[in-house]
Chains A and B, each alone.
Chain A
Amino acid sequence: MTLPSMIVIALGLALATTALSTLPAKGGRYSLSWSPLAIVFIILALLTGFSHPQLHAEKEALAAGMDFPLLLFLCFLTFVGFGLNLIAPRGQHGRWHRFQISFLCATTILFVATADTRVMLGAWILSLVPTFLDDTEGGVKWRGIQYPAFFAYQILSLSMFIVAIAILHTEIETTQGLLTYNIHHFAAQLMIPETSSFIAGGALVVAVFARQGLFPFHAGVVSLASRAPMSYTIPYLVSQSGFLLFAMLGKHVVKDLLEHGGGAIYAFSAASAIYFALLTLVQTNIRRFWVYLTRIGSTLVPVFYAAAHHTATTGVLLSSLALLVSVAGFGATIWMVERRTGLTTCAQEQGLAQSMPILSGMFLIFGICCVNAPLTLGFVTEDLLLHGVMENMPMQAIPMLIGFAIGGIAVYRFYTKLFLGKAEFFTGKRDLFHRERIGLAMMLAVLICLGLVPRALIQPTAALTNAKAAPPLVEF
């Protein structure tokens, strides 16, 4: 079975789930029926991929080179989507929550899997549709722009993406006579004028920065996370790992820009890790604390662009996957706290651990996983990243490390504010339900198991990134 057919099946299952979740089923049972099948399918695909000789050889075609990271991302996303569906609340708005989760997963799969930039654009726009809707007593209704800040930055990002694609499309048609919207052709372009490449690269960098919520384009993501339902926000932040794959292809597009300003881009973004860590530390709002914590991890994207060593590149790719699961798990625990207590801010100690001890433990564990706790996948990837960056940008590794260190302090501090202290307002047992335990345990098991046996991910990914360090050899 080829990769495209695997993607089609995974996408089809995701869309089917989305459709089924809108049906008035009993407690939304149908939305879970696809997930075990998809997981089994993705695991089989992964096993097939491991035995495929092409994945162990030097890559000559970018399209084939995307197989392993793409498979990994699909597997992780499906897994997380299943977990989030389990964790999503039942009851009156349960279907709406599960619809958003499944829909975001489906559009992300479509975005990452396709090579046609027009389809990517369509998937991107489609993923924004739930932000215009709201589930009310009378059903789902159109509400218009509910999150203006988020929408503004999305428009900026989309515009820059369209500009970049338009320039590349026009230049390739002019210089090589090829009419294409294929992103692999864009990534492999070698002969367009430097000025055009510079402008397209700059537009693409802005598009990625705005989409990923990097400094200084993070206000949109922060606004979304503060106000939108968690059933949209968590999958949205998780999907950013998929955009890293898109950034991977764009790396060759921005090479001219990087030659002149790569170091500055990286230094600026590394410093932003400290900026976000500082904001995380002083937060009392639970959602803003979470989103700023995730911004620390998102500063890896510029590292990816600027790092020449394939150790760093491998570290960034795998770190994005580790963050995918950590962010989802941490967001899920926050969601559970909100549902049980209605808390939005936390200036004083709340003592919630007395009524929800296991949830408090999960909150802490996923929180420190977001800042690369030992014995987890994040620890391994941070190690790779650090050593890769030290190869050619040793001084710029320090801000990154400081950011993660402060992030760790912020997580522990917020944990003590939320869960420790004397319980005055929230008494009685409100701990995890059975399905919530399963969902969180699954995600934690992935982080720990892959952290203990990381070879299975590192070696195939490293072989691909090493091949990608060379100029692409796609022929038109």
Chain B
Amino acid sequence: MHDFLSSGTVITTTCLPLLIFSVLGGMVLCKRQISEQFVIRMTSLCTMTGFFFALTASFAVLLGLQTSTVWDLGTWYDIGDYHFHLVFVLDWISLPALLTATFLIGIVGHFSSRYLHRDNGFLRFFLIYLLFSAGMGFVILGGNLDLVFLGWELVGFSSALLIGFYQARVSPVRNGVQAFSYYRICDLGLLLAAAIWHEELQTTTFATLDHVLSNGSYIAPTFLGAALVFAAMGKSAQIPFSSWLPRAMEGPTPSSAIFYGALSVHAGAYLLIRSEPILQTSQTLPVAIVLIGITTSLYATIVGRTRHDVKSTLAYAAMAQVGLIFVEIGLGFETLALCHLIGHSLFRSWQFLRAPSFLHEYKELKLSPSGTTWLNRAIPHSLQTWAYRQALTDFHLESAISAFIIKPFFAVGRFLDRLEQRWTDRIDGSHRPYTNSPRGLPADSPTTITSYHKEQLR
């Protein structure tokens, strides 16, 4: 029973979504017509079984029928001293988070089945949604950093695809690229942490972390912890990697709810809760985490007050709450942080799902209380005006990153590209325009596409 519950929980939350994704993807590739009902049934099967197993396992642990489990499936591959273990952990950290995740994934999936009814991208949404479900399963249940990284990548990739869901518009597409860029840069931290973790501690398994750290002295826990914090900051939209979160609201409401209200934005905090023993070996890291959290909370609170659309307001509110969760982690209150994470996930996703109908019902949105409050009286008017102006422009955070990092980076790239093209043209002797036909015709010649049309007529 014990093994059945553990294995069932792991399989239904990680492998089953991938299996259904493969089935649906294969049907698309074979040009089979897939009805909305079929997609809904498959997704419901996946989410309901995952929730059932997560609920049963949680009750089993709660009632003392089962202790925390580390389910070791052996090695995926190994070479010499290096092993990639398939280890899943079901304990007091992962089970509540998993229960919340499967519950919300099911709820939002059901919401989406109606919200996106008859939308052209219905199937595409659910394919990406299944990928996300599997990724979250690996992140939550992963018993070592390697598996967490695998899920982490899937979550980031699916997130970027759903931001650009309304692909006929340019703005969501570009916002998706920005979000993916932040994810990708910050994922370097996680990859580096995994590599250092292997080298220093010979294992990346969370369950043995306390034991390993207490049995030796290691030179790199601060660097390792810093890499983890770097990765967490990107996923959880902490300063200075926060500008992608409001832009991510371009995606459909269900994806905003599940990604940026509930699960994806909390993945960074979850990682830090998991890695708490490493963070506590350093004296500077907890301080840094607290400072990051406080700064982000203040920033998000002030900027969020200047926003006039409900989803942006909720995005900044979520950012502020995640900042507070970071503060709790930095202060060592991981249980409190976990409870805060779960409560915030449930509440915020409800708010996101309610947002479109809320506006419809109330016709207007009151953004600020009428009259003066004690805060208005305490803060000088000039300071309020200055803060308001700065908040309207996000305190120039995004423009600073664009001006000092992104634009120079692209400028250097374009300069190098021009040098490359000049060098290649010089060696080639003369600049001949690129052609894509063996006969050397210009690329836009009608004859370059005759092969396609001939194929169609066969």
A-side interface residues toward B, CB under 8 Å?
89-94, 96-97, 134-137, 147-149, 152, 219-220, 222-223, 226-227, 229-231, 275, 278-279, 281-283, 285, 287, 309-311, 314, 338-344, 349, 351, 353-354, 358, 368, 373-375, 379-380, 383-384, 386-388, 390-391, 394, 397-398, 401-402, 405-406, 408-409, 412-413, 416, 419-423, 430, 433, 437, 441, 454-455, 458-459, 462, 466
Contact = CB atoms under 8 A, between A and B. Distances in A.
B77 A422 contact: no
Given A229-B438, A342-B448, 17 more contacts: A89-B455, A230-B436, A338-B436, A339-B451, A342-B443, A343-B443, A344-B436, A349-B173, A358-B28, A374-B154, A387-B195, A405-B184, A409-B177, A412-B160, A421-B170, A433-B455, A437-B29
A420 B160 CA distance: 13
A368 B167 CA distance: 19
Given A341-B449, A394-B199, A412 B180 contact: yes
The 6 closest A-B pairs by CB, nearest first: A282-B413, A149-B427, A420-B167, A89-B451, A91-B451, A420-B173
A137 to B, nearest CB: 8
B250 interface: no
B413 A281 contact: yes
Contacts of B455: 89-91, 433
Contacts of B146: 383
Interface in B339-391: none
Contacts of A220: 427
Given A416-B173, A430-B452, A279 B416 contact: yes
A278 B409 contact: yes
A422 B440 CA distance: 30
Nearest to A216: B423
Contacts of A406: 184
Contact of B423 (A219, A391, A459): A219
Nearest to A461: B79
B33 interface: no
B165 to A, nearest CB: 10
B454 A90 contact: yes
B319 to A, nearest CB: 23
Given A278-B412, A402-B188, A219 B420 contact: yes
A152 B29 CA distance: 43
Nearest to A145: B429
Contacts of A394: 195-196, 199
18 contacts: A89-B452, A93-B438, A223-B427, A223-B428, A230-B436, A283-B417, A339-B448, A340-B449, A351-B168, A353-B167, A374-B150, A383-B146, A394-B199, A397-B192, A416-B174, A420-B164, A422-B169, A422-B170
Contact of A421 (B167, B420, B448, B458): B167
B424 A342 contact: no
> Residue among B30, B82, B185, B416 with the most chain A CB within 10 A?
B82
Given A282-B410, A380-B77, A384-B79, A339 B424 contact: no
Contacts of A387: 82, 195, 198-199
B428 A149 contact: yes
Contacts of A310: 79-80
Interface string B419-436: 010011001110010111
B339 to A, nearest CB: 31
Nearest to A282: B413
B contact patch SS: helix
Given A339-B449, A340-B452, A149 B184 contact: no
Nearest to A135: B438
B82 A93 contact: no
Contacts of A386: 191, 195
Interface residues of B, number: 71
Contacts of A281: 410, 413
A282 B417 contact: yes
A458 B77 contact: yes
A382 to B, nearest CB: 9
A371 B28 CA distance: 25
A341 to B, nearest CB: 7
B125 to A, nearest CB: 13
A408 B177 CA distance: 11
Contacts of A341: 449
Nearest to B84: A383
A445 B167 CA distance: 28
Q: Which of B31, B198, B434, B436 has the most CB of A within 10 A?
A: B436
Contacts of B30: 437
B4 interface: no
Contacts of B192: 397-398, 401
A462 B427 contact: no
B434 A227 contact: yes
Contacts of B181: 409, 413
Nearest to B445: A342
B76 interface: yes
A413 B409 CA distance: 15
Contacts of A413: 177, 181
A454 B28 CA distance: 27
A476 to B, nearest CB: 32
B176 interface: yes
A329 to B, nearest CB: 14
Interface in B171-210: 173-174, 176-177, 180-181, 184-185, 187-188, 191-192, 195-196, 198-199
Contact of B451 (A92, A309, A374): A92
A89 B164 CA distance: 32
B173 to A, nearest CB: 4
A368 B157 contact: yes
Given A386-B191, A397-B195, A412-B180, A135 B439 contact: yes
A373 B195 contact: no
A452 to B, nearest CB: 9
A333 B398 CA distance: 35
B153 interface: yes
Given A92-B451, A413-B177, A314 B79 contact: yes
Nearest to B444: A342
Nearest to A386: B195
A401 B185 CA distance: 10
Contacts of A219: 420, 423-424, 427
A279 B413 contact: yes
A279 B177 CA distance: 17
Contact of A416 (B176, B412, B434): B176
A172 B454 CA distance: 59
Interface string B28-41: 11110000000000
A430 B452 CA distance: 9
B450 interface: yes
A412 to B, nearest CB: 5
A311 to B, nearest CB: 5
Nearest to B120: A354
A140 to B, nearest CB: 10
Contacts of B153: 373-374
A309 B196 CA distance: 16
B414 interface: yes
Contacts of A383: 84, 146
A282 B28 contact: no
B185 A405 contact: yes
Given A227-B434, A311-B79, A134 B440 contact: yes
A344 B434 contact: yes
